[in-house]
């Protein structure tokens, strides 16, 4: 299993809290005791990486609420992609989002 697949497996604790066309709020659930607390610099870097994903217009992180609001271009990322990707459904919409995320992952790893 490569690094992206390990990351992909960890999204079982992510759910959609709210979703309108072009805007999705993701919520992190479950026991986070094993996760290290990120530094302010790591949060800024993560935020920059998220906003640089193809089709993503903006990202708002709320660490206290353990949520992330993503404004996206539905012409690039289909609305169904979010639900299907998080549920592990192999739809064409989910494959679009997965390929975008895999491309970003490869870019980060090779940097």
Domain locations in the chain? Answer: 3-110
What pLDDT, on a 0 to 100 scale, did the predictor assign at position 49?
81
Mean pLDDT of 51-61: 93
Tell the CATH topology of 3-110: Alpha-Beta Plaits (3.30.70)
Paired residues of 15 in beta bridges:
27
What pLDDT, on a 0 to 100 scale, did the predictor assign at position 35?
62
Alpha carbon distance 109, 72 (integer Å): 24
Question: Model's pTM, two decimal places?
Answer: 0.84
Which one has a higher pLDDT value, 66 or 3?
Answer: 66
Mean pLDDT of 52-80: 93
CB 8 within 8 A of CB 109: no
Mean pLDDT of 75-89: 95
Q: Is the pLDDT of residue 29 over 70?
A: yes
């Amino acid at each position: 299993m490569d690094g992206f697949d390990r990351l992909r497996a960890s999204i079982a604790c992510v759910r959609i809290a709210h979703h309108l066309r072009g805007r999705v709020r993701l919520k992190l659930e479950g026991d986070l005791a094993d996760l290290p607390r990120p530094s302010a610099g790591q949060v800024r870097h993560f935020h920059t990486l998220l906003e640089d994903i193809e089709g993503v217009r903006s990202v708002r992180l709320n660490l206290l609420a353990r949520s992330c609001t993503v404004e996206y271009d539905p012409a690039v990322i289909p609305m169904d992609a979010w639900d299907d990707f998080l549920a592990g459904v192999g739809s064409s919409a989910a494959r679009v989002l997965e390929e975008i995320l895999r491309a970003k992952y490869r870019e980060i790893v090779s940097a």
